[in-house]
């Protein structure tokens, strides 16, 4: 009967559980504690004690005697309203988490290199958007190195970039692209670039450029690079306009038919990997997106 005046916020928060709020709601909605306890699947003393504990935490009586029943006080109704709100929030949260676990809601941030965005993934993006309209799909196009940095700093969930995956990143190969020499229109044989040839290549420092440099070296070519661009469309145009030679994946170079007949030697292969942080938390939406990508490849 003597309720300790433990009415500090910390005491209240520290001691009250969602279960107790559930008990309170049931006790308020059922005709008696006994009926409420039965509906909750616990014994009547357990319910009585739990409610007394809530009273103690709240610092005010929540029930008062009414014959052999007990009824809510005005303070009790105040606390009941709180309980209803919190329990409704909890149910909504549970729904959200479940929807997210099913991949039906939430955010999916995918990073991809421009070649992927242009030639490989558009259909998959469209398909994913159709199948999961409630997912907030955010796409970022950048170079491999930048994408991997963003992946590491939790700014992206899934990255399609040139592999193989480095330390702390795990991935699966989605596509393997050959990289061929392409000659500018004219007399020269695409398979025999002259020594004085000028080259338009991917930017120095990029993953693809590193692969290309190694491959060209194996072919005995030390390219004279007069133009660098991270944009493969730019490189293709340079070649098509006769301004130099390049090394490109056919998917890029032959998108317009101009360069199809100008393909030269196979310089190297680059692999497009789908990558995530090693040991990252499960991500149903990323999993689904990747599933679509692998199914298409």
Partner DNA sequence: AACACTATCCATAAGTATAATATATGATTT
Partner DNA sequence: AAATCATATATTATACTTATGGATAGTGTT
Smallest distance, DNA to C-beta of residue 243, A? 35
- How far is the C-alpha of 108 from the C-alpha of 259, rounded, in Å? 37
Interaction of residue 190 with a second copy, rule CB under 8 A? no
3-class DSSP assignment, residue 197: coil
Smallest distance, DNA to C-beta of residue 3, A? 11
With beta carbons less than 8 A apart as the criterion, state whether 277 and 167 touch: no
Query: Of these, 15, 190, 230, 250, which contacts a second copy (CB under 8 A)?
Result: 15
Interaction of residue 97 with a second copy, rule CB under 8 A? yes
Residue 82 interacting partner from a second copy, DNA, none (CB closer than 5 to 8 Å by kind): a second copy
Interaction of residue 84 with a second copy, rule CB under 8 A? no
In the complex with DNA, the residue whose CB is nearer, 33 or 182, is 33
Query: Using CB under 8 A, which of the segments 77-85, 121-129, 224-232, 251-259 binds a second copy?
Result: 77-85
- Using CB atoms within 10 Å of the CB of residue 173, give its burial: 0 to 12 exposed, 13 to 18 middle, 19+ buried: middle
Smallest distance, DNA to C-beta of residue 28, A? 11
Specify the residue for token string 């309170």: 24
**Vertex 220, ends 214 and 222: CA angle to 5°?**
70
Contacts of 150-156 with CB under 8 Å at 24 or more apart are 150/111, 151/111, 151/275, 151/276, 151/277, 152/277, 154/277, 155/109, 156/109, 156/110, 156/111
Query: Using CB under 8 A, which of the segments 142-150, 185-193, 206-214, 276-284 binds a second copy?
Result: 276-284
- Provide the CB-side half-sphere exposure for 147 (13 A, CA): 30
3-class DSSP assignment, residue 173: strand
Query: Using CB under 8 A, which of the segments 99-107, 140-148, 192-200, 237-245 binds a second copy?
Result: 99-107
Specify the residue for token string 């056919």: 250
Residue 53 interacting partner from DNA, a second copy, none (CB closer than 5 to 8 Å by kind): DNA
Residue 4 interacting partner from DNA, a second copy, none (CB closer than 5 to 8 Å by kind): none
- What does the binding site for DNA look like in residue numbers (CB under 7 A)? 1, 15, 17, 19-20, 31-35, 41-46, 48-53, 63, 67-70
**Vertex 175, ends 171 and 181: CA angle to 5°?**
125
Q: Where do contacts with a second copy occur on this chain (CB under 8 A)?
A: 7, 9, 12-19, 21-22, 58-61, 64-66, 71, 73-75, 78-79, 82, 85-87, 89-91, 93-94, 96-98, 100-101, 106-107, 154, 277, 279-282
């Amino acid at each position: 009967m003597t309720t300790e005046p433990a009415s500090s916020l910390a005491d209240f928060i520290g001691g009250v559980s969602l279960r107790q709020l559930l008990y309170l709601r049931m006790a308020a909605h059922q005709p008696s504690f006994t009926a409420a306890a039965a509906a909750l699947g616990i014994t009547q003393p357990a319910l009585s004690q739990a409610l007394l504990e809530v009273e103690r935490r709240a610092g005010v009586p929540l029930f008062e005697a009414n014959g052999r029943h007990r009824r809510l006080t005005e303070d009790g109704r105040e606390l009941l309203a709180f309980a209803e709100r919190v329990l409704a929030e909890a149910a909504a949260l549970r729904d959200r988490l479940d929807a997210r676990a099913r991949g039906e809601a939430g955010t999916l941030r995918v990073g991809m290199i421009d070649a992927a965005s242009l030639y490989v993934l558009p259909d998959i993006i469209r398909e994913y958007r159709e199948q999961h309209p409630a997912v907030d799909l955010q796409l970022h196009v950048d170079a491999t190195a930048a994408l991997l940095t963003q992946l590491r700093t939790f700014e992206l969930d899934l990255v399609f970039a040139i592999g193989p995956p480095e330390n702390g990143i795990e991935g699966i190969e989605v596509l393997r692209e050959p990289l061929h020499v392409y000659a500018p229109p004219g007399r020269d044989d695409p398979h025999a670039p002259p020594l004085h040839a000028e080259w338009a290549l991917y930017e120095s420092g990029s993953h693809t450029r590193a692969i290309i440099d190694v491959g060209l070296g194996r072919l005995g070519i030390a390219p004279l690079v007069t133009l660098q661009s991270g944009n493969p469309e730019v490189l293709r145009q340079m070649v098509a306009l006769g301004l130099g030679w390049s090394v490109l994946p056919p998917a890029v170079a032959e998108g317009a038919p101009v360069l199809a007949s100008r393909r030269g030697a196979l310089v190297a292969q680059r692999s497009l990997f789908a990558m995530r942080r090693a040991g990252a938390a499960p991500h149903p939406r990323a999993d689904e997106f990747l599933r679509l990508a692998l199914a298409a490849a």
